[in-house]
Structure 1
Amino acid sequence: MSNLVVIAYPTLEKAEEVREKLFAFQKEYLIQMGDAVIAEKKPNGHIKLHQIFSPTGAGAATGSLWGLLIGVLFMVPLAGVAVGAASGALAGALSDFGINDKFMKQVASTLQPGNAALFVLINKVTLDKVLAGLEGTGGEIMQTSLDHSKEEALRKALHEHIKENEQSGSAA
């Protein structure tokens, strides 16, 4: 069963930094993600999704290849590429997998302008190691499908190191 976690950050850069950490954890087989998208609320209120995979681009590339092959068979390779790219891009744009774009835009609409939200669809996770790696990264949990104890552990890990820094700063 997959779990969805949505964390709000004050900037796009901070959300991207945390997403990069998650990608590093994935390379170490500590987490398996189905999707990791950042939704940024622009100052004008527009929501921009920063996705790791573009289905439109992938569809256009695949369509171009198939169009070229079919075009060569019928002696019109350039027309085949053009038709293949257009149909592939259309098919890619119409297919949406991972986290639903409409849902992400709806949740991100509650952000303050300039803020960003990291949406992560988690398939598998070694929770203790990932939480230790995310310690002190900040962010506010907007929504999760985790059980209460795991959600609280995540919330604590995000803010743990920050509180320690505040205490050591006030003691100095």
Structure 2
Amino acid sequence: MSDLIVVGFSDTEVADRALTKMVSLSKEHLVELEDAVIVVRNAEGKIHIKQSVNLTALGATSGLVTGGLWGALVGLLFLNPLAGFAIGGALGAGTGALSGSLSDYGIDDDFIKSLSETIPNDSSALFLLLRKFQPEKVLQELEDSDFKGKVLRTSLSPEQEQKLQDALSKTTAVGTTL
């Protein structure tokens, strides 16, 4: 079962740095990221959502490869595998991009949009969907970093949520909010 963690930051750039840290922790096999989304609300109140997985591009790429291979095989039957590869690749890329843009993976987009409406101007939030993680080591890494955040939502147990909030607020004053 995956765990959802949403952390708000009082700066527009901290969520990017926090995601970079989580990616480096995933390379060390301390966390396994299923999905990650960054939401930034600028000074004018405009919300920008940055998905970590571009499903349209991913679908187009896999469709190109699959369609190209099938097109080349069919093209062999008609003694023109290059034309089959080109036609099959183009059709595969188009259908892959369409299916990627219509699919929803990981964190629900409606949930992201509704929660992003609650963050203040000139701030950001990091949405993480973790398959598994090593809590003690990840919390130690967060305590050693300069991320000053507030846990907004989580599916963790109350004890784990409190430990996470303590790790994120180690360097902040008590009672600091976004």
Name the TM-score class by shorter chain. 0.7 to 0.9
- Greater helix content: 1
* Secondary structure, counterpart of 2:105 in structure 1: coil
Distance 2:101 2:108 in 1: 13
Deviation at 1:58, TM superposition (A): 0.9
Where do 5+ consecutive residues of structure 2 fail to align?
none
Aligned residues with identical type, % of pairs: 36
Distance 1:25 1:144 in 2: 19
1:160 maps to 170
Q: Which amino acid aligns with 1:80?
A: G
Where do residues 33-112 of structure 1 align in structure 2 (5 Å cutoff)? 33-43=33-43, 45-72=45-72, 73-74=74-75, 75=80, 76=83, 77-112=85-120
Distance 1:69 1:123 in 2: 33
Offset from partner CA, 1:130-171 (integer Å, 9 cap, x none): 11111141111111111111111111111113359xxxxxxx
Q: 1:151 aligns with which of 135, 139, 161?
A: 161
Distance 1:144 1:14 in 2: 19
1:114 maps to 122
Where do 5+ consecutive residues of structure 1 fail to align?
165-172
Offset from partner CA, 1:12-66 (integer Å, 9 cap, x none): 4210111111111111121222112112224554433212221110111111223
The size of the alignment, in residue pairs, is 164
For the Cα contact (< 8 Å) 2:30–2:137, is it kept in 1? yes
Matched, 1:131 2:135: no
